[in-house]
């Protein structure tokens, strides 16, 4: 299953194609506060999940799992950021390929109880992502509907520096985007699953190379006002673009994400 911008996808019923972004997870300093924020923002409910890195909860939208939030592990600090997990048939083999291609593996591979097996890695530019080999849990049950993940984008200095890595490690093809100077869509079997944006020297203003998650919402402007009411902040106000209306915000813990109302014609 993959997300096509501007389209809704059905519930995941089988193992995702290797390389597909299948899950997003946030490691936060205050788990309860993060649950409160996202529960009120997106209408999520929560139930306990695997605790291989500490307390962890799965977010449910209308009874279907859409994301995860965990407490930052002591002694092993991770960025307070939404992190996508890429599907793998064999996480140990994929982790080995990541290392061979110039990436690093910082956590795992390790078992997440009966749910699956995981690792946390970084590409050669330093952008962190997860690798997920599902067992009982294959990933998000629904994507592309309001309150769920719409899209994941890698923000880096230049696309040429990372595309060979993702092509070799995960089998992505890349298609250049005409609307941006340095951008590409990542495809698996001809289907778009993620994108890469090269921002050049502007990367310094954004901190470092990173994966960035977009969540679908019904009304971007209303959602932004809600973010502010709940203690978050606005990084980029609502605006219309190639793929619909979007805004970039941060939750009270500093995790940055985009909310988007996809253009049905996109």
Rounded to whole angstroms, the Cα distance separating 181 from 179 reads 7
pTM for the model stands at: 0.92
Rounded to whole angstroms, the Cα distance separating 59 from 62 reads 10
**For residue 201, what pLDDT is reported?**
87
Rounded to whole angstroms, the Cα distance separating 110 from 97 reads 16
What is the DSSP code (8-state) at residue 139? S
**For residue 73, what pLDDT is reported?**
80
What token pair was written down for 82?
Answer: 């939404």
Burial 69-81 (b: 16+ CB within 10 A, else e): bbbbeeeeebebb
User: Is the C-alpha dihedral spanning 28, 29, 35, 38 positive or negative?
Assistant: negative
Across-strand partners of 153? 195, 212
Name the nearest CA neighbour of 156 among 94, 201, 209. 209
The ranges of the chain with pLDDT < 50 are 1-11, 264-266
Can you tell me whether residue 75 is helix, strand or coil? coil
Can you tell me whether residue 90 is helix, strand or coil? coil
Rounded to whole angstroms, the Cα distance separating 87 from 128 reads 15
**CB of 259 within 8 A of CB of 249?**
yes
**CB of 145 within 8 A of CB of 160?**
no
């Amino acid at each position: 299953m993959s997300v096509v911008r501007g389209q809704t996808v059905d519930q995941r019923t089988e193992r995702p194609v290797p390389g597909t972004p299948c899950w997003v997870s946030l490691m936060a300093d205050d788990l309860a506060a993060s649950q409160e924020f996202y529960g009120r923002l997106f209408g999520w409910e929560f139930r306990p999940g695997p605790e291989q890195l500490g307390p962890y909860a799965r977010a449910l939208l209308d009874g279907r799992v859409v994301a995860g939030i965990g407490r930052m592990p002591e002694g092993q600090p991770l960025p307070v950021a939404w992190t996508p997990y890429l599907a793998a048939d064999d996480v140990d083999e994929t982790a080995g390929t990541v290392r061979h291609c110039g990436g690093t593996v910082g956590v795992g591979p390790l078992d997440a109880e009966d749910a699956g097996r995981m690792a946390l890695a970084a590409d050669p530019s330093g952008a962190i992502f997860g690798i997920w080999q599902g067992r009982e849990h294959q990933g998000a049950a629904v994507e592309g509907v309001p309150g769920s993940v719409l899209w994941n984008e890698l923000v880096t200095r230049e696309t040429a520096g990372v595309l060979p890595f993702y092509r070799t490690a995960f089998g992505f093809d890349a298609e250049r985007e005409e609307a941006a100077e340095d951008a590409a869509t990542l495809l698996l079997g001809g289907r778009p699953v993620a994108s890469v944006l090269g921002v050049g020297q502007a990367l310094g203003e954004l901190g470092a190379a990173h994966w960035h998650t977009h969540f679908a919402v019904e009304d971007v402007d209303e959602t932004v006002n809600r973010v502010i009411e709940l203690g978050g902040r606005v990084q980029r106000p609502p605006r219309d673009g190639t793929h619909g209306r979007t805004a970039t915000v941060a939750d009270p813990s500093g995790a940055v994400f985009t909310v988007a109302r996809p253009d049905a014609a996109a």
